[in-house]
Structure 1
Amino acid sequence: MATVQAPSPGQGPVPVPVPEDWDINTSALVTSNEPEKIYREYDYLRSHCPVAHVDKHDGYWVLTRYNDVKEVASNNDKFISYLCAIVPADPRGIRRPPLKFDGENHKPYRTAIDRTLKPARLKRLEPIIRAHCERELQTLLDRGHGDIYEEFGSNWTSWIEKEWLNLDEEDSALLVESFSPFVYAWRTGDWATVKKWSDAWYGIAHRVVAARKANPLDPEIDPASSLLLERDKDGNPLDEEHIIGCIRQIVIIAMVAPTIVLTAITKHLSEDKELQNRLRNDRSLLPAAIEEFIRLHVPYRGFARTAVKEEEISGTKVPPDEPITVVYSAANRDPEQFPEPEKFVLHRENISSHLGFGRGIHRCAGTAMARMILRVYLETLLDRCSDWDVSGEIVYARLPEVGPTSCPFAFKAAA
């Protein structure tokens, strides 16, 4: 093994082992889904080649330093999402807003979504979301075991989407039914099934938009009605095809990312009983714990930007024709920004600087809802369980995510 010294403030150099013949094109971060292998190679790249090129997926760049990721994600004048927002890119070349729209074209979609996620609405949604959480989690607790991702998280986040989008009962049931098989098909490369469920979600979006055109709801509480209310930079209504695409994008992003994070947190707490008990006994620690969990377990490694013209990043010239992955999962473990990055540190002084929700105009619109979802989940889990342990094989996500997409647990119910 070759060893490269990666700096870690407060600890001195930490060895980062990599094979003698290490090649990024055959590396774990390109070929593996196992987080620990991927994180180890991020450490190597950060100290050895912080702006690295990968040949796979038609060629893309990997950024691993916090400052580089933050700058590229934040500077929408120099780095855009329109050409490629995610690696691997959708081969159909579909551009769904708001993620693949920039500048003035992006603004009305983001305004419409933000309107439906104000604190007053989240406060009204919380007890409804909590009730869904309690019901879905109790199913696993009653039998003493279950897969938090596939049997709980996928269902619960689907019900959350139902409430946020105001879906009718038929489409709500379809959403709950479809998420787990979609993720499994994506994980196993069953692209015919992926397309089947993706098309089903487009069908939901079509029906929602048609229903809101006929009978608009309050735009403060309904994304489709809010999108139909918005106007583009020229004062024209938004294109209906793009409104449908926006809702379709909301469906997948708002279900996949939270489910990975809550599964990763559950696994983390199964391995750190002391922290689990601290949080159970002092719920005032949850907000700080959630921020550190998000830093450690951010599920993104493939979100991308493309340079408008050639740019120099950490001494490397990057051309305008290839995606640049803003690897939030690497940035959040940069020891120059977060000392002892692999360690869970409650009340980190600079925790607010984490990139768990991205940066810039494409920063996660559902940030406040995500924090609420994680808090509600942890409160429910800690209330109803005295302990839990991983009880089977863990399966991890493919690009563009990182983290568990299947993790069975054995639960010990609270007395």
Structure 2
Amino acid sequence: MTAIPSDFDPEAPEDFDSAHREYARLRRECPVAHTDGLGGFWALSRYEDVRRVASDWASFSTETQNVIPKVAFTGRRPPLHLDPPEHTPFRQALNPLLSQDKVRRLEADTRRFAREMLAPMVERGGGDICTDFSSFLPVRVFGLWMRMPPQWLDTLHDDGRAFVLAVHRNEPELMKATSLRLYDMARDLVRLRREAPEDPAIDPTSALLAAVHGGQSLPEDLLIGAVRQVLVVGIVAPMVLVGSMAVHLARDQELQAQLRADPALVPAAVEEFLRLYTPYRGFARTAVNDTVVGARAIKANDAIALLYCSANRDEAIFPDGDRFVLDRPNIAEHLAFGRGPHNCPGLHLGRMELCVALGELLAATPGGFTLDGPITLSRWPEIGPLTVPLRFG
């Protein structure tokens, strides 16, 4: 069989802007691109292709490979690793706990957490907004939502960050080791809720324990896998996106001052930042049958990356897609939270965290902030910074 030539290199060195330039090239020249890198996969860069494949779970499955690089070495983790209808009871258990009303009740604590974490940075005159702030804030908020024992949160932060870094460095053995530690935490949380059940209307683990499918409780391995999935999935994206927002605003002092002067603009700004700096490029699907996307023949079992970060800059949908436009008329069409049955169930929680994080950062820095050193970037499956040193004032 003739090898398919690579259209791009997913492992090429990147700076803050270079990946977006490369994806713009792919949209123009090769919107359905192939690469041998990271195990080999197809990459969809245009909005309509990404939206269609993300929505068509029957033709493009998430069960075989759901991220690039492939990291699920330690068991299936619902709901992301299952297609409908198998994933449905997991979503039915979790979705009500992530409603706007439930999230609204977490906002005051989230704001308190943010102020506590920013205070030492203000005292020092700056710091790394990712390492010192946005890597911790989602853990605190997620721990509150998961109703985890507070003494577990440092372990969740350390093990979750170690897993993420192992993925970014493409170190399979370290991925496995750190994932297994997170599985241990998931088993401990399930054991705790069996011994001391809580109200399924407010506790995610108890809701999963109470869920039924076909008249039966959820299988133990999938139940633990779901808790394991939930422990990490909501931690990485906010950390990266806060870093991207900080870089953008450090470069655009006029916009930074505008948002600081009028906090009512923050939610609209966050929505445009979600579009402009969508933190995911490696969510994947697997072709169920031989198919054609964008005039390219894709074989059954081929992995396909959904470049959400590229789709959300597609000029056919978002004119001046590389530019920040406050109150963009069609901003609701962005794909930052996915599409179809695997759209992000935590979209309300994510929006709230980001609005609080940005609002509190601006409020804590009346003299403004600037970049104060080199940025370290994430690798697949995310896109954006892991470290962003800032100077306040």
TM-score after normalising by structure 1: 0.89
The answer as to whether partners of 2:7 and 2:34 remain within 8 angstroms in 1 is no
Deviation at 1:43, TM superposition (A): 1.5
The residue that corresponds to 2:61 in the other structure is 80
Amino acid at match of 1:210: R
Deviation at 1:404, TM superposition (A): 0.4
The answer as to whether partners of 2:167 and 2:380 remain within 8 angstroms in 1 is no
Which has the higher mean CA deviation after the structures are superposed, 41-50 or 347-356? 41-50
CA distance in 1, matches of 2:40, 2:125: 46
Deviation at 1:367, TM superposition (A): 0.2
The residue that corresponds to 1:373 in the other structure is 353
CA distance in 2, matches of 1:79, 1:209: 32
The residue that corresponds to 1:309 in the other structure is 289
After superposition, where does 1:314-393 map in structure 2 within 5 Å? 314-386=294-366, 387-393=368-374
Map Cα deviations across residues 80-136 of structure 1 (whole Å, 9 max, x no partner).
Answer: 100110111126263211111001101011111112112232122111111111111
**Is 1:245–2:222 an aligned residue pair?**
no
Deviation at 1:170, TM superposition (A): 2.5
User: CA 1:55 to 1:184, structure 2 compared with 1: closer, same or farther past 3 Å?
Assistant: closer
The answer as to whether partners of 1:81 and 1:101 remain within 8 angstroms in 2 is yes
User: Given the alignment, which residue of 51, 69, 81 partners 1:100?
Assistant: 81
Deviation at 1:306, TM superposition (A): 1.3
Amino acid at match of 1:111: Q
Deviation at 1:56, TM superposition (A): 2.3
Deviation at 1:163, TM superposition (A): 0.2
User: CA 1:199 to 1:285, structure 2 compared with 1: closer, same or farther past 3 Å?
Assistant: same
CA distance in 1, matches of 2:190, 2:355: 31
The answer as to whether partners of 1:295 and 1:354 remain within 8 angstroms in 2 is yes
CA distance in 2, matches of 1:182, 1:87: 15
After superposition, where does 1:180-329 map in structure 2 within 5 Å? 180-188=161-169, 193-232=174-213, 234-329=214-309
Map Cα deviations across residues 2-21 of structure 1 (whole Å, 9 max, x no partner).
Answer: xxxxxxxxxxxxxxxxxxxx
The answer as to whether partners of 1:32 and 1:38 remain within 8 angstroms in 2 is no
The residue that corresponds to 1:41 in the other structure is 22
Structure 1: which 5+ runs fail to align? 1-22
CA distance in 2, matches of 1:138, 1:25: 48
SS in 1 for 2:33: strand
CA distance in 1, matches of 2:148, 2:292: 46
Map Cα deviations across residues 228-278 of structure 1 (whole Å, 9 max, x no partner).
Answer: 11112x221101221111111112221111100011101111111111111
Deviation at 1:193, TM superposition (A): 4.8
SS in 2 for 1:259: helix
SS in 2 for 1:103: coil
CA distance in 1, matches of 2:369, 2:185: 36
The residue that corresponds to 1:61 in the other structure is 42
The residue that corresponds to 1:162 in the other structure is 143
CA distance in 2, matches of 1:102, 1:356: 20
Amino acid at match of 2:365: C
Deviation at 1:363, TM superposition (A): 0.5
Deviation at 1:26, TM superposition (A): 8.1
**Is 1:31–2:12 an aligned residue pair?**
yes
User: CA 1:409 to 1:341, structure 2 compared with 1: closer, same or farther past 3 Å?
Assistant: same
CA distance in 1, matches of 2:374, 2:107: 33
The answer as to whether partners of 2:9 and 2:35 remain within 8 angstroms in 1 is no
Aligned-residue RMSD, C-alpha: 1.9
Structure 2: which 5+ runs fail to align? none
Map Cα deviations across residues 163-190 of structure 1 (whole Å, 9 max, x no partner).
Answer: 0111113212322343444444444456
CA distance in 2, matches of 1:30, 1:362: 26
Map Cα deviations across residues 335-355 of structure 1 (whole Å, 9 max, x no partner).
Answer: 111111110001111110001
CA distance in 1, matches of 2:336, 2:72: 27
SS in 2 for 1:248: helix
Deviation at 1:31, TM superposition (A): 2.3
After superposition, where does 1:12-27 map in structure 2 within 5 Å? 25=6, 27=8
Deviation at 1:35, TM superposition (A): 4.3
The answer as to whether partners of 1:33 and 1:397 remain within 8 angstroms in 2 is no
User: Given the alignment, which residue of 100, 121, 124 partners 2:102?
Assistant: 121
CA distance in 2, matches of 1:204, 1:138: 30
